[in-house]
Each structure stands twice: as structure tokens, then as C-alpha cells.
Amino acid sequence: MTRHPATSLPPPKDRRRLREEASLTRVQLAERVGVRPETVRAWESGRSTPRGRKREAYARLLADLTGPAPAPGPRPAPNPPPEPEAGPADRTTGVAAPGSAPDRRRGARTAVVTVCPDEPGGGRRGRGTAAPGAVPEPAASTQAPPPSRPSAGPRAPALTPAQAFDALYAVGAPALVRQTYLLTGRRGLARESVERAFQLAWDHWPEVARDPDPAGWVRAAAHEWALSPWHRYRRHHRRPEPPPPEAADRALLEVLLRLPPPYRRTLLLHDGVGLGLPETAAETEATTRAAAGRLLHARETVAARLPDLSDPRELHRRLAELAATGRLRTADPPAVRGGSERRARFWTRAAIAFTVVLVGTTALTLRTAPARYEPPVPAGETVRGVPPHVAPGPLSEEQRELRARLREELPRGPGRLTPQAR
């Protein structure tokens, strides 16, 4: 028996673009596929992937929205442009955001993308570091070698899950901590959020490794954990955080923290990280129009307080400088994986203990419960017609006279015990 390959789907950002170009809402598309609108939102944001019949129906619908494919013709040989070298700003002061992009020259699945603060508009550059799970292979030749010809060189060994996770953590964690610091203004919470996001990624590593954008998956988890409203009730969160040393940095951070969390996150992703408007809307789980409105409102607020930052390029540069001012350190990858495994063991043992207690309580209830039906005792009822019980008390005058007469008539001595014949 042979298994058919899964139906191919476009990337999540293309799914949303195709739906919006066709003037379809999530509700309309969900009715055609037969799912809920929340499921369509998860598919478009990359949080989940359709399977089975729903995947085939979703793929057919997207193919209909795309239109007829062009006639196949001779395909020219690929000639990728040379990769630009990453400058020092890419590795030190940039608000780096690792992403995924095809690397055709190396044959790897994905490549890490960082934002260069020196380039206007937050341009992206591809780096040669392969993403987790991608094994670089030599480019395939147009003609197959003869069977007797030996291999040209040794094949690179496949990465283990731990090695792939460590590679993703080493590339994405430092930049992600700086981004999270801009969201929260707290260094400890930024480190905790990034470590928590990577621990969650290690718990769901098969899903994250197959994701088209593993770094985006981790970034979304870190931002959601950092912006959780429950942190305000924590004791150490109430303590003030030391501000940046420079007055300009303090003013910019204060303006950012005064923005509502959705607006702050949209401004960071678009002007800081350099994502496009559809990608920003998909990651924040909002419509493109809502994301554009949030971005414009955030820019106007920043420009009203800091007129020098009315230009998006200057704002991008200042965000990169502000993120680089804090001395933010990250834990080692083995420590993050160990924390994830310890948490998994704790919750597993807690679930087992709860199950044992539940089973024991059920067994005790079955043991002590009555084996037959016992009717309940009815409540007492008042019986009418019976004279009430008279309690003993002092004798009346008539009763005393009757008692004296009875005492006089009784014979005295032994004669009263002798029977008399009549």
C-alpha cells in the first residue's frame, strides 16, 4: 500500500492575502470549508495546520482563489543572487528577528533572517545559518551520475532535535530578548518570557520543527507571555525597573509603555522588526485594516511626544539603539531544555497523583455505599382523639376524701387477708 503525499498549501501569509484579494471574510471562508472562523484564523496565522478532508477542501478553495495556473514551459536554470555580507550592526545593535526564507543555493529548508538597523525601512538579510531540522546538501546536478561513480564527498550528518533546538535558540534568543524588553520595559520579564517561549517550543518541538517559520512561532509565544495582564499581580512586578541611562532613551521607552499593548506590539513588529503589514496583522491576530489603524495611531502618539521620530526610518534606528542599551543575557540552551523537561515531569506527576486520588475516592465511595435500598423514615404525624397524658400532681379535695374513706373501710390486721364465705 502506498501513501499519497499531503496536499500542499501556500504559506500562512499567502492564505490571508488570497482571501482578502477575493473579498471574502473569515466567516464566509469557514462556511465553505465547514469549520469555525477561529479555525480559519489559526490557519492563516500559522498556529495550526489543516489535516485530512479539511486540508483538501481548503487547498482546493485557495487554488480556486488563485486562478488558473500558467501553461508549463521550459524552466530556466536558477541563478540566485549572491548573499550580502552581514555587517556588524546585524549582530550587535539590531532588533534582530529570526525568520525563515528559502535558501535555494544551499538546498536548506529555511534561513535565519535578521533586521539590519542601518538599512532604511528595516530591510532583511539572509544569513547562512540553517534553521533547525534543515540539513545542508550539495546542489543537485542536471545529469545523474553513473551508478559506479563514488560520492563526491562525505554527507553532512543530520541534526538531532536537541542540536536543532540549540541552533534556533542561539540565533533567535538574544534578539528576541531585546524585542521583549521594548514591549515590557522590564529586563527580568523579558528573559523569563523568552525562556518560557522556548520551553513551550521544546514541548511542541515536532510541530515547531515542521512550522514554516519556527522563529515566528517562538516570537509570538514570547510576546503573548510578556503582555499577559496577570503579571501585574506578581510581587516582583510591582517593584520599579531602573530606567535607561540616556534621557532620550528614557523618553522613548516611556512613550512606548504608555501605548496600549496591541498598538505597542504592532509598532514593534512593523517598525522595529521590519515585518510587512499582512505579516504583522497575522501575528497579532487582527485584520490588515485594524493593524494599519493601530500602526498609524502608535506613530502619531510617538510623533506627538517626540517630534524627531516622525520618520519611520529614524524610529527604526532609535528602537534598535534602545534595545541595545540594556545588558540582557540569556540562559544556556541545555538549561532551557532542562527546565521544560522538569516542568513536564512535574505536571505529569501531578496528573498521576490527581488520578490516583480520584480513583481512591471512587473506590471508597463504592465500598461504603449501601448495597440495597433503604426507604427513608417518614416524619412524625399528630394522632387525634387520644387524651393527653396527665402528669402526677397534688390531689384535689374530692380525691383526698375518697382516699380517706377507702382507708377506713379496709380491714386491719390479718383478717383482711382471710377469705369470707358467703
Instruction: Give the mean model confidence (pLDDT) for residues 23-32.
Output: 86
**Per-residue pLDDT tens for 319-373?**
888 888 766 777 888 888 888 888 888 989 999 999 999 999 999 998 888 888 8
Three cell numbers, residue 322? 534602545
Does residue 34 sit in helix, strand or coil? Answer: coil
What HEC string does 253-264 produce?
Answer: HHHHHHCCHHHH
How far is Cα 352 from Cα 343, in angstroms, rounded to an integer? 14
How far is Cα 337 from Cα 346, in angstroms, rounded to an integer? 14
How far is Cα 407 from Cα 420, in angstroms, rounded to an integer? 20
Give DSSP secondary structure letters for 56-104. Answer: HHHHHHHHHHH-PPPPP-PPPPP-PPPPPPP-HHHHTTS--------BT
Residue 2 has pLDDT above 80, yes or no: no
Could you identify the residue written with the cell 543537485? 140
Residue 38: CB atoms within 10 A of its CB come to 11
Q: Which amino acid is at 413?
A: G
The CA-based dihedral angle spanning residues 399, 403, 408, 412, taken in that order and rounded to the nearest 10 degrees: 170
pTM for the structure as a whole: 0.50
Residue 83 has pLDDT above 80, yes or no: no
User: What is the 8-class DSSP label of residue 108?
Assistant: B
Buried b (16+ CB within 10 A) or exposed e, 80-116: eeeeeeeeebbeebbbbbbbbbebebbebbbbbbbbb
The pLDDT value recorded for residue 127 is 37
The pLDDT value recorded for residue 155 is 62
- For helices 312-325 and 288-305, the axis angle rounded to 10 degrees is 80
How far is Cα 264 from Cα 266, in angstroms, rounded to an integer? 6
Residue 69 has pLDDT above 60, yes or no: no
User: What structural domains and CATH numbers belong to the chain?
Assistant: 12-66 (1.10.260.40), 159-325 (1.20.140)
Three cell numbers, residue 139? 546542489
**Per-residue pLDDT tens for 256-284?**
999 999 999 999 999 988 889 999 999 99
Q: Which amino acid is at 134?
A: A
The pLDDT value recorded for residue 93 is 37
